[in-house]
Amino acid sequence: DIVMTQSPDSLAVSLGERATINCRSNQSVLYSANNKNYLAWFQHKPGQPPKLLLYWASTRESGVPDRFSGSGSGADFTLTINSLQAEDVAVYYCQQYYKSWTFGQGTKVEIK
Amino acid sequence: DVQLVESGGGLVQPGGSLRLSCAASGFTFSDYYIHWVRQVPGKGLLWVARISDDGIVTTYADSVRGRFTVSRDRAKNTAYLQMTSLRAEDTATYYCVRLAAGGNYDYWGQGAQVTVSP
């Protein structure tokens, strides 16, 4: 299995500031034939289903605010939330879909 | 709008069985693979099983293979997860998820709580 490891496990950010979450896989999730990284990011709020934010590592899902952005390639990825809003409090997961489907352990984002 | 609505969760004794349903609407059900993902309380997300768009191909996580069966009914636009020989460690919230064309998940159901306890 491809193991996904996120850091940090939790972080507290002031409103309007930037939150950065890292995700590392134990093998590359970049498919050379199409140069796409098989990496997605989800936001999970209590009592709600996870919500897709980004796929192909950096493609924003329709309707997702542009303060959410993704970067990275191969085995190292980053989710950045610019200008954190109160409604962004949630647990964020990265997921690889290169080989089967596995998730990171999650990063809890709170307001400082 | 795309919707996936799970039902059938509940409390069951160890060794018991339960069937979850996932009713789909707002899209052509037969065009999409459906996956099941679970979340143990306080833990992360784990892939459980999947079924192909035509219902022919099914795949399972090692932890549930031989005990869980995934199926779908095209006429009812519904997918099912039949769970047997349930164990305490199967206690979780179970989500059905639609697999997008690119292989990522796009839409999730609201989840069904399964508790396995004496």
Tens place of pLDDT per residue across chain A (112 aa): 999 999 999 999 999 999 999 999 999 999 999 999 999 999 999 889 999 999 999 999 999 999 999 999 999 999 999 999 999 999 999 999 999 999 999 999 999 9
Across the interface, whether the CB atoms of B35 and A93 are under 8 A apart is answered no
Per-residue confidence (pLDDT) for residue B44, from 0 to 100: 87
Considering only alpha carbons, which residue of chain A is nearest residue B105? A52
How much of chain B, in percent, has pLDDT values that exceed 90?
96
Per-residue confidence (pLDDT) for residue B96, from 0 to 100: 98
CA-based nearest distance B72→chain A, Å? 21
Q: Which residue has the higher pLDDT, B103 or B41?
A: B103
Query: Cα A71 to the chain's mean position, in Å?
Result: 9
Tell whether A94 is within 8 A of chain B (Cβ).
Answer: no
Per-residue confidence (pLDDT) for residue B42, from 0 to 100: 81
Respond yes or no on whether the N-terminal peptide bond of residue A49 is cis (omega within 30° of 0). no
Per-residue confidence (pLDDT) for residue B41, from 0 to 100: 81
CA-based nearest distance A52→chain B, Å? 6
Across the interface, whether the CB atoms of B109 and A103 are under 8 A apart is answered no
> Which residues does A14 contact at the CB level (< 8 Å), separation at least 6?
A84, A111, A112
B-proximal residues of A, 40-69, CB under 8 Å = 40, 42, 48-52, 55-56, 61
Half-sphere exposure of B117 (CA within 13 A, CB side): 7
- The token pair at A91 is 């647990």
Q: How confident is the model at residue B28 (pLDDT cuts 50, 70, 90)?
A: very high
Facing residue for A55 by CB, picked from B95, B102, B107:
B102
Q: Quick one: which H or E segment has residue B78?
A: strand B78-83
CA-based nearest distance A84→chain B, Å? 23
Measure the CA dihedral B35/B96/A43/A101, to 10°: -20
Q: How confident is the model at residue B113 (pLDDT cuts 50, 70, 90)?
A: very high
Chain B residues with at least one Cβ partner in A under 8 Å: 35, 37, 44-47, 95, 100, 102-111
Q: Could you tell me if B4 and B96 are in contact, meaning their C-beta atoms sit under 8 angstroms apart?
A: yes
Across the interface, whether the CB atoms of B44 and A50 are under 8 A apart is answered no
Per-residue confidence (pLDDT) for residue A68, from 0 to 100: 98
